[in-house]
Amino acid sequence: MSSSQGFFFKVHEVAKLIPYGKVTSYGAIAKYLGASGSARMVGWAMNASHKDPGVPAHRVVNRVGLLSGKHHFEGTNLMQQLLESEGVEVVDLKVQDFEKLFWDPMKEL
DNA sequence: TGAATGACTTCGG
DNA sequence: CCCGAAGCCATTC
Q: Which helix (H) or strand (E) holds A46?
A: helix A39-48
Please tell me whether any atom of strand C lies within 7 Å of the Cβ of A44.
yes
Residue A90 sits at the vertex; the CA angle it makes with A40 and A97, to the nearest 5 degrees, is 85
Chain B positions under 7 Å from a protein CB?
A: 6-10
Q: What is the pLDDT along chain A (109 residues), one digit of tens a residue?
A: 444 467 889 999 999 999 999 999 999 999 999 888 889 999 999 999 988 899 999 999 999 999 999 999 998 899 999 999 999 999 999 999 999 999 999 999 8
Q: Integer distance in angstroms from CA A48 to C1' C11?
A: 11
List A91's β-bridge partners, or say none.
A94
pLDDT score for A14: 95
Instruction: Print burial letters for A64-98: b (CB count within 10 Å at least 16), e (below 16).
Output: ebbbbbbeebeeeeebbebbeebebebeeeebeeb
- Integer distance in angstroms from CA A60 to C1' C6? 24
The answer to whether the pTM exceeds 0.85 is yes
